[in-house]
Amino acid sequence: MKILIVEDSRSNLQVLTQYARGFGAEVVPAENGEAAVAAFAATSPDLVLLDVVLPDIDGFEVARRIRGMESEGGWTPIIFLSSLGKDEDIEQGIMAGGDDYLHKPVSEVVLGAKVRAMERLIQMRGSLVKLASELDVANQELQRLSASDGLTGIANRRYFDEHIAREWRRARRNASSVALMMCDVDHFKLFNDTYGHQAGDECLRRVAGAIATSLDRGSDLAARYGGEEFVVVLCETAIGGALIVAEKIRHAVHALNIPHSASSLGRVTLSIGLAAAVPELDDPSDNLIAMADKALYDAKHNGRDRVCRAPRPSVG
């Protein structure tokens, strides 16, 4: 344990140092307030024994500065040392950031008991901080899992619903365009019937990966909409830019070169319906989804393996 001892009387400092070393502690001495603040910053002690009356700034001000220097969530016990024993003095010390108060002259036995008590508090706090960190990591993982599709690893339908609603509101505030793609694996039922469900699952995983890696911006979202359908949300993107991304996705799926003997195209392909809109006051995001879904229907019925855009440039 490292103890910062702040005491302007050299004789008292020597006695306290002897006591602390007798407890097995490493001692960092300081004879005035400014030196104490500098020593705290330089050494990061585990405990501070702080005289109230100092030749420059008083111990209360030192305590306030120490508390101001601590990192978020950090805590170093401060025990004030003083011959002042009024209730008001003790209250002032606690308000300044102190944790305990010892009257001078300091008893070695009492100081030892206080140091051991603070050691236990430090250990308990360390355990709680570790537990809180572990819980935070676990909660983040739960949030990630709750937002992810179990098969493909990309976002799931629930997360998509939340995301499109949030981005639609933002686009309405900013008068910006949101683009949406509905993507469907062509002849997927025939693929499953021909190659089996295990191969079908692997196919969906690879297609999802191709879609996700085709998106360049962190704000873009790829999600599994259901079955063999996927959805892509592009924020602040007009129809022209979205068409470029959609073709990039279609070619990425082509490049997977997954054989599909039951398809006239001979490989796994993707049909994409695309819509983009700047939200008006009363427009729900469902309108944009319906437009993209209609465009997907057109892509499927016009030969598949293509991108079709919605016939209207905006919702209204």
Q: Using one digit for the tens of pLDDT, what is the confidence trace for 295-309?
A: 999 999 999 999 999
Amino acid at the residue 278: V
Is 311 strand, coil or helix?
A: coil
Q: What is the DSSP string of 8-23?
A: S-HHHHHHHHHHHHHT
The Cα–Cα gap between 214 and 212 comes to 5
Look up residue 222 and give its two tokens: 């790829």
Is 34 strand, coil or helix?
A: helix
Catalytic center residues: 228
The Cα–Cα gap between 303 and 30 comes to 83
Contact between 77 and 109 (Cβ < 8 Å): no
- Comparing CA positions, the residue from 81, 221, 86 lying closest to residue 154 is 221
- Predicted confidence at residue 118, as pLDDT, reads 84
The confidence band for 314, taking pLDDT boundaries of 50, 70 and 90, is very low
- Which of 94-103, 151-160, 210-219, 240-249 is predicted with the least confidence, judged by mean pLDDT? 94-103
Is 303 strand, coil or helix?
A: coil
> Around Cβ 209, how many Cβ atoms within 10 Å?
17
SS3 content of the chain, % helix, strand, coil (to 5): 50, 20, 30
CA distances (Å), origin 123, targets 5, 116, 128: 21, 11, 9
Q: What is the per-residue pLDDT across 112-155, written as a single tens digit (0 to 9) for each?
A: 888 888 888 878 877 877 887 788 888 877 776 678 998 999 99
Is 202 strand, coil or helix?
A: helix
Q: What is the per-residue pLDDT across 32-69, written as a single tens digit (0 to 9) for each?
A: 999 999 999 999 999 999 998 899 999 899 999 999 99
The Cα–Cα gap between 292 and 239 comes to 12
Contact between 276 and 238 (Cβ < 8 Å): yes
Q: What is the per-residue pLDDT across 252-293, written as a single tens digit (0 to 9) for each?
A: 999 999 999 999 889 999 999 999 999 987 789 999 999 999
The confidence band for 315, taking pLDDT boundaries of 50, 70 and 90, is very low
- Predicted confidence at residue 85, as pLDDT, reads 64
The arithmetic mean of pLDDT across residues 243-256, rounded, is 97
Which is more confident, 100 or 182? 182
- Specify the pTM: 0.60
The arithmetic mean of pLDDT across residues 211-239, rounded, is 95
Domains along the chain?
2-129 (3.40.50.2300), 157-309 (3.30.70.270)
Contact between 77 and 99 (Cβ < 8 Å): yes
